[in-house]
């Protein structure tokens, strides 16, 4: 079968299409015919070596497709079922295996491509809006990269929960998308002092929570956007990691809270994974949550997809289609 494998760390040019043996499902795994793959920023870090992995390896972890075979110990799945997961072992491939306990069946009202495009970002937006800082009517939230994969879904979910949303994005087109997704106000954070603008828009009060996936370039000013005892939720670092800082800063700026969450800790229990997925898929089926696919690429064009994502010029989710 064909798979995207890297033999050395580097730029998009190291992404190589190889012929590799078909994977074999362990007793607790599913073997999937992959139909759509979600491309995520963490894979850029893995490709570059910032998050080291033993070489060579097949890229990718998020995908959706059809069950080809089930391991001998698996119950609840059968060949022909459509499933999605963020725990595939090498998703950039024609076939891949996944632990059955980490896979979820896709309902009839959601396409396989929609599932792959919404899964990781949708679950992330869900835990951010409902668990990390549970938004409610009257809350004010600043969402950075509001036209990105998580950002667009987070804006929609925050609006469902009655929050007022301030979204940042780098272009007029991206800000329009964020506004359509529910952002009440949008800010160009590349040319505007977004902290000053947030304070102006809130009459000096600030916001209850900042959801920041950008990291290095936005972190310090994001703290200035928070009201007393507000929460800084740092869940990504597309501009680079945040340098070490003195926790006393949180004291001086109003007894602020800081958290650095990750998805795995919010879906660790099977029951929680299923609960979040039920919400996500039911919203998509009812048309309450719009899934924006920002680009579709065949396996052969995976390097182009990585270049576009790394340039941070994309909106919504990029997917590989097989």
**CATH number, residue 201:** 3.40.50.720
What is the rounded average pLDDT of the residues 14-38?
97
Range 22-33 burial, b when 16+ CB lie within 10 A, else e: ebebbeebbbbe
**Confidence bin at 190 (pLDDT 50/70/90):** confident
pLDDT of 253: 97
pLDDT of 50: 86
Same domain, 227 and 287: no
Same domain, 207 and 287: no
**Confidence bin at 101 (pLDDT 50/70/90):** very high
Same domain, 75 and 189: no
State the residue range of the domain holding 106: 2-118+270-321
Whether 57 and 90 have beta carbons less than 8 Å apart is answered as yes
Count of positions (residues) in the chain: 322
3-state per-residue secondary structure call for 88-157 = CECCCECEEEEEHHHCEECCCCCCHHHHHHHHHHHHHHHHHHHHHCCCCCCCEEEECCCCEHHHHHHHHH
pLDDT of 243: 92
Flag the least confident range among 78-87, 138-147, 240-249.
240-249
Same domain, 185 and 238: yes
Whether 142 and 198 have beta carbons less than 8 Å apart is answered as yes
Residue 127 lies in a domain: no
Number of domains observed in the structure of the chain: 2
pLDDT digits (tens, 9 = 90+) for 232-281: 999 988 888 899 989 999 999 999 999 999 999 999 999 999 999 999 99
Q: By three-state DSSP, how is residue 164 classified?
A: strand
Same domain, 60 and 28: yes
Same domain, 84 and 148: no
Range 55-83 burial, b when 16+ CB lie within 10 A, else e: eebbbbbbbbbebbbbbeebeebeeebbb
Closest CA to 294 of 283, 304, 279: 304
pTM of the model as a whole? 0.93
Residue 288 lies in a domain: yes
pLDDT digits (tens, 9 = 90+) for 192-225: 999 999 999 999 999 999 999 999 999 999 999 9
Q: What is the DSSP letter of 252?
A: H
Same domain, 78 and 152: no
Question: What CATH number does the domain containing 17 carry?
Answer: 3.90.180.10
Same domain, 148 and 245: yes
pLDDT of 41: 87
Residues β-bridged to residue 57: 6
What is the rounded average pLDDT of the residues 12-21?
97
> Final residue of a domain: which of 238, 260, 282?
260
Q: What is the overall mean pLDDT for the chain?
A: 96
Residue 265 lies in a domain: no
Distance CA 45, CA 37 (A): 17
Q: What is the residue whose two structure tokens read 């994974």?
A: 273
DSSP H helices, the chain, are 41-48, 112-127, 149-160, 172-180, 194-201, 219-224, 248-252, 270-285, 302-310
Residue 42 lies in a domain: yes
Residue 232 lies in a domain: yes
pLDDT digits (tens, 9 = 90+) for 278-298: 999 999 999 999 999 999 999
Whether 310 and 30 have beta carbons less than 8 Å apart is answered as no
Distance CA 296, CA 271 (A): 32
Give pairs for 136-139: CB < 8 Å, separation 24+.
136/161, 136/162, 136/163, 137/161, 137/162, 137/163, 138/162, 138/163, 139/163, 139/164, 139/208, 139/209
């Amino acid at each position: 079968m064909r798979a995207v494998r890297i033999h050395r760390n580097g730029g998009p040019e190291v992404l190589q299409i190889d012929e590799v043996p078909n994977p074999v499902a362990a007793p607790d795994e599913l073997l999937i015919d992959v139909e759509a793959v979600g491309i995520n920023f963490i894979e850029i870090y893995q490709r570059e070596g910032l998050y080291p992995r033993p070489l060579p390896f097949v890229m990718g972890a998020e995908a959706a497709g059809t069950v080809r075979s089930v391991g001998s110990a698996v119950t609840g799945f059968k060949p022909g079922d459509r499933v999605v997961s963020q725990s595939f072992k090498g998703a950039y491939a024609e076939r891949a295996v996944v632990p059955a306990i980490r896979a979820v069946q896709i309902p009839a009202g959601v396409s396989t491509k929609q599932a792959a495009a919404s899964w990781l970002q949708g679950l992330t937006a869900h835990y951010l809006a409902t668990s990390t800082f549970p938004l409610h009517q009257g809350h004010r939230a600043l969402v950075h990269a509001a036209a990105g994969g998580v950002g667009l879904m987070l804006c929609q979910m925050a609006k469902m929960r009655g929050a007022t949303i301030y979204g940042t994005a780098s272009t007029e087109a991206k800000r329009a998308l964020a506004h359509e997704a529910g952002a009440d106000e949008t800010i160009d954070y590349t040319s505007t002092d977004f902290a000053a603008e947030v304070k102006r828009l809130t009459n000096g009060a600030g916001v209850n929570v900042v959801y920041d996936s950008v990291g290095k370039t936005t972190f310090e000013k994001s703290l200035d956007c928070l009201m007393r005892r507000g929460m800084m939720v740092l869940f990504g670092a597309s501009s680079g990691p945040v340098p070490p800082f003195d926790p006393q800063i949180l004291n001086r700026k109003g007894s602020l809270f800081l958290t650095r969450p990750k998805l795995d800790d919010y879906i660790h229990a099977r029951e929680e994974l299923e609960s979040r997925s039920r919400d996500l898929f039911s919203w998509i089926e009812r048309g309450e949550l719009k899934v924006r696919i920002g680009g579709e690429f065949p396996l052969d064009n995976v390097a182009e997809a990585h270049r576009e994502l790394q340039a941070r010029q994309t909106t919504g989710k990029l997917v590989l289609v097989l």
